[in-house]
Each structure stands twice: as C-alpha cells, then as structure tokens.
C-alpha cells in the first residue's frame, strides 16, 4: 500500500458479509473508502462525510456503472490504493443438472464483472506506480467440491487471472492477493446462494448431500468475518504481502491437503510427463 496517511479503498459487495465488515474496519481507522452495493442505500449507513467515505451503487455486470463509480472515486479522492473485488455469489448444483442461464449469470458477476472493474482501476494504480488488488475468491479456487462445480470454475478463473495480473503489474508497483476463505459466518447461504435442487438419484450422496449440508450449517460456521477483515487489512500494510491468503482452519486444511496430493500425483507421473517431449539429440 502507498505510504499515504489516509489510503483510499474501493470495496465491492458491501451490503452484508465480508464486504460490510471490511468497510467498517477500514473507515474506523480514519481511512477513506468507496463502499459499493447494487443499491447504495444499503451501505449509506457505513459512511459519514464524503471527505472520507462514498456509498455508491454498483452492479459489477454493468460497464456504465463501473466507469461512473471509478471516475467518482478518482475525482473525489484523487487515487485508489486498494481494490477489493468482493462482489459475487454462489451457485450450487450437480454438474449435470446445472442450468445454463444461472451458470452464465454467475460468471458475469464473479468473473467478467471482476475483470472489468479491475481493468477500470488499473490505469489509476499504474499512474501511481502503487496499489494492491485483493480478489476474494474461495477455497473453491483450489478445490472443486461436489455440488459446487460451476462456482469453483468461477473462482479458479479468478485465480488464473490473478497470476497473470501479478506478473504483469507487479513490476509497476501493483500487488495482487487472492483471499481464499473457507466457511465463514456471513449468512452466505441465506442471501448469496442459488441452488438447482438435486433430482437425479445417482448424485444424492455427492452433490445432493452437499447442497443440503450448505443450508443446514449456515450460521454455525467457524470463520469470523471481522477477523478475516483484520487479516485483509494487515496484508495491505506489508512490504511483501502474500499472493494467497487462505482464511479459516477448514480452508487451510482443504487447500494444503489438495496441493500436497496434487504435487504427489504430478511427481508420480514425472517420467510420462517428461517423455512427451521430442527426444533430445
């Protein structure tokens, strides 16, 4: 983050959950922030005077709103130091039962909207030669759980995008971190989750069981969104922030187990992999 005494944050998806708690924490520090939601009235209570906070309506799938929001923040505060791409939602179904319209709508919000907003903010950060992009993905950015194939696909897409962005923008002073939460007590299942019910018996014990468990466990998750927000703030103050910030014990175990297993499998097939090249000499 810039050494500016009152850095400027741009946070999407602030009506509830991670975005709302993070916005509270940032503004409580006396920093400046643009807090956004599809309906600005739902985040107006977070901000005080416009010299420190802006409550903006922003649907990340609407290019006109993206342009207007970024211009408003830049004209008001003169800079953008941290972009938090938090807006998005979940869609659960078995892969076979996924509905095309719902799949595409989720990609528009979770992937293409995030891409578009990042592109809109990058010119400002590039001119500053400073900035930090925090893309809130998920443990699903590493692990495709049953029932969450399409949601995981959106998060995997953002992870790959972030790798490329870090390689391109890092030399320009722009840092990139993927924030990967496990289950957190944010009522995500109640307000930000769409499901296509499982009707095919063959998937009852996999996708069907996960859809049911997601709803039943809502409100009892171990993750604390306030502590998550504090962790996100902390990494923006570091000279060398992590590229990946996995949050919560469940997330840590799921991600590290998956990566260890993946590496072991790749190593086990090393000779086959190397043998796919033209013979040397």
Which residues are catalytic, by number?
151
- The Cα–Cα gap between 161 and 139 comes to 16
Task: Count the neighbouring beta carbons within 10 Å of the beta carbon of residue 214.
Answer: 19
| Angle between helices 225-236 and 17-28 in degrees, nearest 10 | 50
| Phi, psi (rounded to 5 degrees) for 203 | -105, 10
Give, as one character, the DSSP assignment of residue 237. T
- In this structure, the number of other CB atoms found within 10 A of the CB of residue 193 comes to 17
Quickly list DSSP for 148-202. Answer: BHHHHHHHHHHHHHHHHHHHHHGGGTEEEEEEEE-SBSS-HHHHSEEE-----GG
Q: How far apart are CA 149 and CA 153, in angstroms?
A: 6
Which helix (H) or strand (E) segment holds residue 110: the answer is none
């Amino acid at each position: 983050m810039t050494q500016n005494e009152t850095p400027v944050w741009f946070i999407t998806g602030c009506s509830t959950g991670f975005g709302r708690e993070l916005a509270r924490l940032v503004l409580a520090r006396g920093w400046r922030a643009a807090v956004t939601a599809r309906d600005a009235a739902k985040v107006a209570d977070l901000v005080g005077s416009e010299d420190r906070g802006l409550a903006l309506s922003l649907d990340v799938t609407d290019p006109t709103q993206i342009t207007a929001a970024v211009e408003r923040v830049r004209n008001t505060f003169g800079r953008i130091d941290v972009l938090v791409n938090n807006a998005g939602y979940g869609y659960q179904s078995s892969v076979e039962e996924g509905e095309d319209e719902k799949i595409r709508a989720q990609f528009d919000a979770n992937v293409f909207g995030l891409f578009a907003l990042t592109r809109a903010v990058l010119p400002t950060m590039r001119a500053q030669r400073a900035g930090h992009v925090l893309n809130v993905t998920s443990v699903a950015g590493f692990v495709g759980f049953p029932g969450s194939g399409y949601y995981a696909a959106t998060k995997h897409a953002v992870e790959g995008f972030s790798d490329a962005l870090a390689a391109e923008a890092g030399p320009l002073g722009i840092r990139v971190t993927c924030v990967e939460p496990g289950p957190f007590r944010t009522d995500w299942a109640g307000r930000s989750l769409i499901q296509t019910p499982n009707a095919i018996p063959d998937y009852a014990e996999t996708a069907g069981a996960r859809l049911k468990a997601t709803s039943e466990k809502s409100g009892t998750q171990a993750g604390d969104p306030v502590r998550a927000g504090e962790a996100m703030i902390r990494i923006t103050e570091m000279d060398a922030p992590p590229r990946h910030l996995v949050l919560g014990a469940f997330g840590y175990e799921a991600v590290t187990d998956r990566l260890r297993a993946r590496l072991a499998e790749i190593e086990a097939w090393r000779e086959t992999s190397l043998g796919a090249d033209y013979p040397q000499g």
